Amino acid sequence: MTGTTRVLVTGKNGQLSKSLKVVSDTAADLEFCFFDRNTLDVTKAQSCSSMIDRLRPNFVLNLAAYTKVDDAERFPDNAHHVNGVGAGNLAQISAVNDIPIIHISTDYVFDGEKRSPYVETDRTNPVNAYGMSKLAGENSVSRLNPKHIVLRTAWLYSPFGSNFVSWLLSAAASGRQLRIVADQVGNPTSALDLAKSLADLVRQLEDVDWTSYSGIYHLAAPEPMTRFQWAKKVISVSGKLYGPTCQVCAAASSEFATPAVRPLRTVLSMDKYQNAFGLKFPPIEKSISDVLQALPRPRRDAH
């Protein structure tokens, strides 16, 4: 493939899409075209078809998602409509036009019972409505478009929107001690780092034999930890950048009643992705620092 590679990107207002916009500003060989729900509604097949016909992209990158885990428990149809039906619409229409699709999924398709890292062929068994809706999307993409890459990622954080790190820094500004669950284990992943990997992946997929590369892959930062350990790292990095913050202490998930059950251990193995495309993530301290420095400087509440 020669010239600029055009990528249609859904979910313009999400943190991963905004992170990709930052990356795209320095990727002259890639033309990322971002769309929100007002300009491309993935839940409507005609909207998908019209935009794909008009843009004629080389790739479709589906970042549109319903990601509010607790709200999905209350409104499962809303989550399924975006994460399941929407993904299927994009996959089917891109397939008709012989356009590959890259689709983002989640570690929450697993139940968290496995003690070792999950590989792509492990049995899926989501324990909440959000995970069920994302699994439906995976299945639709895999079935409807033979040129597909499904990427399961985990625990995204970024300078954009609401996420664990932005919440933690806001709560830490009060100076009070924070209780963070220490029995949930996963792969905290900077959306900025993931966006860089997505741009690199598009470049690698430009001239591949899709019969060899289509499938499901895990793509997340390779250092697993508990949410408590993650919080301590964030507080430590924040302290080095901005001075003393607050203390965090360990807690159990059972102490916090939430509408949606969270799987306790969803550590992902990235071996398949590493072997196919190579894995390029910096140490988590560097990732956290990059995100924190892109956020407004935290201000401690007056006492």
Q: Supply the mean pLDDT for the chain.
A: 95
**Rounded to whole angstroms, how far apart are CA atoms 268 and 266?**
6
What whole-number percentage of the chain has pLDDT above 70?
A: 97
Classify residue 76 as left (phi > 0), alpha (psi -120 to 50) or beta: alpha
Cβ 276 vs Cβ 203: under 8 Å: no
Cβ 199 vs Cβ 24: under 8 Å: yes
Least confident window among 78-82, 94-98, 167-171: 167-171
Residue-by-residue DSSP string for 47-111: HHHHHHHHH--SEEEE------HHHHHH-HHHHHIIIIIIHHHHHHHHHHTT--EEEEEEGGGS-
Using the structure block, give the residue that is written with the tokens 């350990």. 229
What is the structure's pLDDT at 10?
A: 99
What's at 51, amino acid-wise? M
What count of other Cβ atoms lies within 10 Å of the Cβ of residue 287?
A: 24
Q: Does position 298 have pLDDT exceeding 70, yes or no? A: no
What is the structure's pLDDT at 175?
A: 80
Q: Does 246 or 97 have the greater pLDDT score?
A: 97
pLDDT tens by residue, 24-33: 999 999 999 9
- Tokens at residue 94, please? 């891109």
What is the structure's pLDDT at 2?
A: 58
Catalytic site includes residue 130: yes
pLDDT tens by residue, 206-228: 989 999 999 999 999 999 999 99
Catalytic residue among 66, 130, 217, 273: 130
Q: Could you give all domains of the chain from N- to C-terminal order, each with its CATH number?
A: 5-161+189-222+267-282 (3.40.50.720)
pLDDT tens by residue, 254-296: 999 999 999 999 999 999 999 999 999 999 999 999 999 998 7
Looking at the DSSP bridge assignments, the partners of residue 185 are 226, 265
What is the structure's pLDDT at 1?
A: 52
Least confident window among 65-79, 117-131, 161-175: 161-175
Q: Count of alpha carbons within 13 Å of 49, Cβ hemisphere only?
A: 7
